[in-house]
Structure 1
Amino acid sequence: MTLSDIRCCIIIPTYNNQHTLRRVIDGVLEYSNGEHIIVINDGSTGETGEILLSYGSKIRVLTNAKNFGKGYSLRKGFNEAIRLGYDNAISIDSDGQHLPGDIPIFIEAASRNPGALLMGSRNMQQEGVPGKSSFGNKFSNFWFKFETGLTLPDTQTGFRLYPLGPLKEIKLFTTKFETEIEVIVKLAWKNVPVIPIHIRVIYDMNERVTHFRPFRDFTRISILNTWLVILTLLYYLPKRLLTAINKKGLWKMIREEAIKPEESNWSKAKSVGFGFFMGIVPIWGFQLLVGIPLSIYFKMNKVLFLTAANISIPPFIPFIIFGSYQFGGLFYKNGAQITSLDGLTLESIHVNLVQYFLGGTLLALAAGTIGFVATYLPLAIFRPSPKSL
């Protein structure tokens, strides 16, 4: 099969990658028959312009007046591909880490999965992969799973096949490296299938030039993820839950998640203990915002966690705050002396926050430990381990 069979073009954003650009374009030309290549020159200096001119009409070149960012260039490439009538677009980085020889893998996978987003999955454990790249990928994978409910091994790969139809309906706002995260999250929210496919990768530090600026770009990515998490909590997570409820029924879904016969007693007890801890720890307003991602990351039982975390429902809150003060008073002797719930006022809380936060944290640890033990011991006695089920 060829690119024409799936109505696909190849988008190559580039910025000052003169050492590897020619090799990438030459490799891509082997699979394009001199067509379907869109290169976006993102305000490059040096030899990039001359290199692109040398290909003449073999490639289509779009040039940004200045360096706007990879995301801006990708969006420009998407718009051009849509204007030209393509159904799909493969993006490939120009820094030489991706091998054009893997393009047929994308073509074949796209023919089997029309309309899917195909994500090239690199082996991030192989020798030569920069440590910051491996860490950044794990960080990105975690937030992608929280925001979409989907698990991907590599969310930061630049080698992808995008279905262009759904992109017509999506509004993208970012312009730098974070665009690659924004677009896959929003495609997943549109229920576009996301499929990882194995690709090769090369990290040649003598040739490769990266323009990722750790502080600035990591900050941009963090801000984007914060916004996406807010949207997830307010809309997309409830939407996913309602969809699941409609398919299975509420009680069936809760029962399946809570029981999980394959789940160990240790994991169930850990979920309950962590729920008690997060329900009491004095970060009011942020308990679930912090607790839910952590419960997902550590693969806890979400139903058991949320049930235990509801220890902080409104009728119990005064008792939790009072208990936090009393517990803190055992370790912090200079704090406010509150002997009853009647003495629990905003003024008394303000007198010494140190006592409250210390006591609340220690009380949360104690409650979490008690919840863990109280859950684990009965399960260990009366419930056989999953291996023997």
Structure 2
Amino acid sequence: MQPISSEIETVQPERFCVIIPTYNNERTLQRIIDSVLEYTTDVIIVNDGATDGTIAILKKYPQIIQIHHLANAGKGVALRNGFKKAVKLNFDYAITIDSDGQHFASDIPKFIEAIQNEGEALLIGSRNMMQEGVPKKSSFGNNFSNFWFKFETGISLEDTQSGFRLYPLHKIPKKYFTTKFELEIEIIVRSAWKGIVVKNIPIQVLYDPTERVSHFRPFRDFSRISVLNTVLVVIALVYIKPRDFFKRIKKKGLTQYLVENILENSDSNYKKAASIALGVFIGIAPFWGFQTVLVLFLAVVFRFNKAISFAFSNISFPPFIPFIIYGSLKIGGYFVKNNDPLFLDHSITFDNLKNNVLQYIIGSFILATIMAVLFGLIGYLVLTFFSTLKNKN
């Protein structure tokens, strides 16, 4: 095989292959293949049921590994089958490049050099979306995707939609749920959740309207991506962020964690106190089963300290629950007048159950508000005291 680049001979290029998924891109396909072959002969073409002249073009390249789908199954399926083939052939990394002509094969060495110099990662080519000729819908879609990727993973990227990527095949998830364009989002989010480094490297890009054929269907595919992001956000809030939170606490210890995220955090004392108040309010209020999701969502919306808000939302941990319930019912009793006992004894009827539930809900919101203000105020005073003490020293 030909070396990928004379400048990176120590990279062991046999560990890399290039996957080209294609569907009805006959105007640009041959140019892309020829340009990739200048860097490596380890190429896997996935013909996703093309109905144009794609097969005739691919017959010119019998030396290239080819996968043919009888019908169009979607880019996601094409990539998944390409990954499976690459793993079967014992490749460690796969570089994917679109066949619509927007990418330059001359950027392939950049991906390999990044792995060699900076360590293993999932690399995404970062396009200059501000350059002339870039469709506005592409720029909007990329910004939309970047926002949700950061929300779901906490990682800021400039480009999350580029199809020019390098995947560490043995690190990324083995099974996927999506089959179309949204697979590329699923891969990077779930890879980040596994602890894989996901980052951008700059690449060139060309949007030639006379050659480029895009199969992205704005309404249908954008809807599928939105559904996927909804699912990923829920998973992130319900499982990933709490999991990472407890991992950090376990690694550093509760005391050290609180010191770093409260006393030594760069946020203002006001923002820290507001984060404490938010966490206490959500922890006491009757948002059963949704406290984690809600507190993290609101912390992001209001740009509070997520770690602090989440930590104080756990005020309703088991030893405190009886006191919270009792306080809520007691306070609620001043606003919901009924002759039923504070705690139901023997005869439970729908009416007295309804009255006590209403009593509890109203009381818990009032108690949550009181405690949130109290904790927030105390937190602000304590933080201000330590800040003053620190400045004196």
Instruction: Please indicate, yes or no, whether the TM-score normalized by the shorter chain is above 0.5.
Output: yes
Distance 1:324 1:143, change over 3 A: farther
Aligned residue in 2 for 1:28: 36
Residues 120 and 168 in structure 2, CA contact (< 8 A), matched pair in contact too: yes
Q: Does 1:232 align with 2:210?
A: no
Aligned residue in 1 for 2:4: 2
Aligned mates of 1:40, 1:68 — CA distance in 2: 11
The residue matched to 1:162 in structure 2 has which SS? strand
Cα offset, 1:270, TM superposition: 2.4
Aligned residue in 2 for 1:140: 149
Aligned residue in 2 for 1:121: 126
Residues 142 and 297 in structure 1, CA contact (< 8 A), matched pair in contact too: no
Aligned residue in 2 for 1:108: 113
Distance 1:180 1:362, change over 3 A: farther
Cα offset, 1:81, TM superposition: 1.4
Aligned partner letter, 1:104: P
In the TM superposition, 1:72-111 aligns within 5 A as: 72-111=77-116
- Which of the numbers 50, 54, 69 marks the counterpart of 1:48? 54
Distance 1:355 1:44, change over 3 A: farther
Q: Does 1:342 align with 2:351?
A: no
In the TM superposition, 1:159-238 aligns within 5 A as: 159-167=164-172, 170-203=174-207, 207-212=212-217, 213-227=221-235, 230-232=238-240, 237-238=242-243
Q: Does 1:14 align with 2:35?
A: no
Cα offset, 1:291, TM superposition: 1.5
Aligned mates of 1:385, 1:59 — CA distance in 2: 69
The normalised TM-score by structure 2 is 0.75
Distance 1:383 1:225, change over 3 A: closer
Aligned partner letter, 1:85: N
Aligned partner letter, 2:94: A
Aligned partner letter, 2:45: V
Q: Deviations over 1:55-109 (max 9, x none)?
A: 4236432111222222211111112112223221101223344333322210211
Distance 1:251 1:377, change over 3 A: closer
Aligned partner letter, 1:184: I
Cα offset, 1:261, TM superposition: 4.6
Residues 328 and 360 in structure 2, CA contact (< 8 A), matched pair in contact too: no
More divergent stretch after superposition (104-113 vs 347-356): 347-356
Aligned mates of 1:357, 1:96 — CA distance in 2: 60
Cα offset, 1:46, TM superposition: 2.9
Aligned residue in 2 for 1:320: 328
Aligned residue in 2 for 1:289: 293
Residues 16 and 48 in structure 1, CA contact (< 8 A), matched pair in contact too: yes
The normalised TM-score by structure 1 is 0.76
Aligned mates of 1:382, 1:19 — CA distance in 2: 67
Aligned mates of 1:385, 1:297 — CA distance in 2: 32
Aligned mates of 1:325, 1:118 — CA distance in 2: 59
The residue matched to 1:76 in structure 2 has which SS? helix
User: Unaligned stretches of 5+ in structure 1?
Assistant: 330-335
Aligned mates of 2:168, 2:341 — CA distance in 1: 60
More divergent stretch after superposition (343-352 vs 107-116): 343-352
More divergent stretch after superposition (57-66 vs 357-366): 357-366
The residue matched to 1:13 in structure 2 has which SS? strand
Aligned partner letter, 1:2: I
Aligned residue in 1 for 2:312: 308
Residues 148 and 229 in structure 2, CA contact (< 8 A), matched pair in contact too: no
The residue matched to 1:80 in structure 2 has which SS? helix
Aligned partner letter, 1:172: Y
Cα offset, 1:349, TM superposition: 6.6
Alignment RMSD (CA, Å): 4.0
Aligned partner letter, 1:198: P
Aligned mates of 1:361, 1:126 — CA distance in 2: 52
Cα offset, 1:318, TM superposition: 4.4
Cα offset, 1:214, TM superposition: 1.5
Cα offset, 1:11, TM superposition: 0.8
Residues 97 and 208 in structure 1, CA contact (< 8 A), matched pair in contact too: no
Q: Does 1:265 align with 2:269?
A: yes
Aligned mates of 1:166, 1:320 — CA distance in 2: 49
Residues 280 and 360 in structure 1, CA contact (< 8 A), matched pair in contact too: yes
Aligned mates of 1:319, 1:205 — CA distance in 2: 67
Aligned residue in 1 for 2:282: 278
Percentage of pairs with the same residue: 38
- Which of the numbers 255, 259, 265 marks the counterpart of 2:259? 255
